[in-house]
Structure 1
């Protein structure tokens, strides 16, 4: 593709092919519309009386301050090779995690239990 763009003297075609093959430089880079997908937001949550695991939530359920920061629209900036590996299961799935890793329904680590027992 890059050779084709060079032969056609088309910098936009050459740039597009380079981005597709190597990945787009940042999520802020201009992306073709097919490179933005809708992905569900999922969360683990708990309170004293209730626990939810892997719940799908709407971005509108988040506090208003987060509406401009968190969206269900996801720019896909990976190279086509990386996308093929993800589809084939050769790369681990990409998720964003904001808290400590643990399975839903398991107890928190001992230091967190001790903190809660002290009233923290």
Structure 2
């Protein structure tokens, strides 16, 4: 009969392998099952669930290609034309936006549940507004009017992101969880019912991108160095003393 630890691992495995299951639920199972013993694992899972604060550095998989687009309203005499969309280049952004690093790469800081909801309500493109977008739109409107386009108003600035790019963020997180489960299983010998901390640490290292064969090679090298060090601490031979202990007669103590 399977223990609760094995059942928990099996439930987590089913959750991460089922593409129709909520990734948020799989991450909660990961936390509740007690596998996030390490602070790094726990912090990673919580940030994926709750989202990344603006001050935090994002993982590379949460930065996706995006086009910059604006919505334009033409306030003509006796007529207002709304809903015109135009793609712009980074060079057309206000200097303050460029200095802040806003460009054709969008940071996905939302938690996985919010990302899942955005995907569910979107058709082909997902629109996200950069921080300070209202201020930038106002500055671009002033620039248009200074250039003689007095009837032009920039009403919004946003990133237009292809839906598959955002889906790829979730897929990357799911793959990392799958890799973790696979590594835990590979580290557990037959008959073991509960993964220990060393096995979880081994799986954590794999999640960071170092494969199992690499870690095995590192352990073998470490054992070889330790063995060599133990040999070196044994009785010294009757041969000449080590160079570092040789002293000239002038430097010898009286």
Q: TM-score, normalised by structure 2?
A: 0.31
Could you say which residue in structure 1 is the equivalent of 2:43?
A: 15
Could you say which residue in structure 2 is the equivalent of 1:28?
A: 55
**Are residue 78 (structure 1) and residue 105 (structure 2) matched?**
no
Q: 1:74 to 1:93 in 2, by over 3 A?
A: closer
- Per-residue displacement from partner, 1:69-94 (whole Å, max 9, x unpaired)? 3322221111111111111118x954
Question: What CA RMSD, in Å, does the superposition of the two structures yield over aligned residues?
Answer: 3.3
Q: Which has the larger radius of gyration?
A: 2
* 3-state DSSP of counterpart to 2:109: coil
> Could you list the runs of 4 or more consecutive aligned residues of structure 1 that deviate by over 4 angstroms after TM superposition?
45-48
Structure 2 Cα separation of the partners of residues 43 and 55 of structure 1: 5
Could you say which residue in structure 2 is the equivalent of 1:87?
A: 119
More helix by share: 2
Structure 2 Cα separation of the partners of residues 93 and 75 of structure 1: 12
Which of the residues 55, 59, 63 maps onto 2:90? 59
Structure ranking higher on relative contact order (CA contacts 8 Å, 6+ apart): 1
Instruction: Please report how far the alpha carbon of residue 65 of structure 1 lies from its aligned counterpart in structure 2 after TM superposition.
Output: 4.6
8 Å contact kept, 1:37–1:76 = yes
Q: 1:63 to 1:88 in 2, by over 3 A?
A: closer
Q: 1:14 to 1:86 in 2, by over 3 A?
A: same
**Are residue 43 (structure 1) and residue 70 (structure 2) matched?**
yes
Structure 1 Cα separation of the partners of residues 75 and 97 of structure 2: 21
* 3-state DSSP of counterpart to 2:44: helix
Structure 2 Cα separation of the partners of residues 41 and 93 of structure 1: 10
Instruction: Please report how far the alpha carbon of residue 17 of structure 1 lies from its aligned counterpart in structure 2 after TM superposition.
Output: 0.4
Q: Show structure 2 runs of 5+ residues with no match.
A: 1-29, 139-150, 152-254
Structure 2 Cα separation of the partners of residues 84 and 66 of structure 1: 28
Structure 1 Cα separation of the partners of residues 70 and 98 of structure 2: 16
- Equivalences, count: 94
Q: Show structure 1 runs of 5+ residues with no match.
A: 101-112, 114-120
Q: How does 1:76-115 map to 2 (within 5 A)?
A: 76-89=108-121, 94-95=128-129, 98=134
